[in-house]
Amino acid sequence: MTAIDKSAVENAIRSYIDPYLGQDLLALEAVRNLSITDGTVSMELVLGYPWKGLMGAARSIITCALEDLPGVESVQIDTRQVIRAHQPQKSLQSLASVRNIIAVASGKGGVGKSTTAVNLALALASEGVRVGILDADIYGPSVGMMLGIDDKARPEVKDNKYFVPIEAHGIQAMSMAFVVTEKTPMVWRGPMVSGALMQLLTQTLWNDLDYLILDMPPGTGDIQLTMAQKVPVTGAVIVTTPQDIALQDGRKGIEMFRKLDIPVLGVVENMSTHICSNCGHQEPLFGSEGGARIAQEYDTTLLGQLPLHITIREQTDAGNPSTVAEPDSEVAMTYRDIGRHMGALLSRRPRNVSAPIPSASL
């Protein structure tokens, strides 16, 4: 039997370059328990971000490269993802049952921030991780409607103190809309809003979450500043459109998070092109490449670009967002790509060693 050269095995493993981190799996220290025994090469591949959608391709590429080596008769590759907690800003105390809080924000309203937050949460869940979403837009909560949760639904209360989040499409959700009626006006000043948010965050029994998506209210005023100071956020995503006025407000959002020592993981450009529902013609109604410009200006990442398409609005309004309604569509794949990209960038941040134990999922 031909002896298998270990260095050749390692070179074959290097044939797969992580598309988001730009390094091979050995450089990323993702290869575990590599063994070469009697013509069989076996290993585990473990990455710290949601990569379920890439696992099959990685196994195939590496398997083919290994099977071409002299002496290799079989290849066994197990793949896992381990989501660890990362350090929030200014060493704030993390929530016991939430590893990472991701703030999805915009400098202004009307750019599709909540639609992006909901689809991002669902896309992450489809990658095999545990996800929750907190609707922090106290004045205009919309997450419940977007997830198809009945407007009369109310969360269970445990021990007369804690809310049990409502589950929809496989994610846990909490919103001010779940505890008041739709006719109740939120005539509150900033401190009351911030206090209500902190209650929703800390008095909800989140069940072992890898990521909690925080749908921030639009803008960069006192409410947003206070929330960003008090909530232990591990990363932020800025949603904008290519329009110049939206980009100007997006810059304010990035500046706010940076002043608070919250890493901006990237920018999502929404409504990048209009797609005609009749002929499929694409046209950049709000300008082009604005998201790329602002990402370059602030040395961050353009996580993805999403079209202005009627089906996204229709599916979201119907409580069946695109990521769930058409999981194999180009739009759903874009949201999943954004989720993986965001998770990959977060995985390179410093870890929170005092946080809950890591999550491991297949």
DSSP at 5: P
The dihedral region occupied by 91, where left means phi > 0, alpha psi between -120 and 50, and beta the remainder, is left
Confidence of residue 303 (pLDDT cuts 50, 70, 90): very high
Residue 184 has pLDDT above 60, yes or no: no
In terms of pLDDT, which residue wins out, 230 or 186?
Answer: 230
Torsion over CA: 80, 83, 84, 87 (sign): positive
How open is the CA angle 74-76-82, to the nearest 5 degrees? 165
Mean pLDDT of the chain: 86
Residue at token pair 């297949």: 362
Task: Write out pLDDT tens, residues 254-282.
Answer: 888 988 889 999 999 887 665 556 666 56
Confidence of residue 189 (pLDDT cuts 50, 70, 90): low
Choices 1.10.510.10, 3.30.1330.40, 3.40.50.720, 3.40.50.300: CATH for 89-355: 3.40.50.300
- Give the least confident one: 217-226, 228-237, 306-315: 217-226
- Give the least confident one: 3-7, 46-50, 236-240, 244-248: 244-248
Q: Look up the CATH superfamily of 9-82.
A: Fe-S cluster assembly (FSCA) (3.30.300.130)
**Rounded average pLDDT over 81-102:** 90
* Cross-strand bridge partners of residue 31: 45
Note the pTM of the prediction, 2 decimals.
0.91
Question: What is the reported pLDDT for 250?
Answer: 82
Residue 313 has pLDDT above 90, yes or no: no
How many CB atoms are closer than 10 A to CB 187? 7
Confidence of residue 8 (pLDDT cuts 50, 70, 90): very high
* Contacts for 249 with CB less than 8 Å, ≥ 6 apart: 106, 107, 108, 219, 220, 240
**Rounded average pLDDT over 149-156:** 89
Determine the angle formed by the axes of helices 244-259 and 222-230, rounding to 10 degrees: 40
Write down the domain spans for the chain. Answer: 9-82, 89-355
Question: What is the reported pLDDT for 317?
Answer: 86
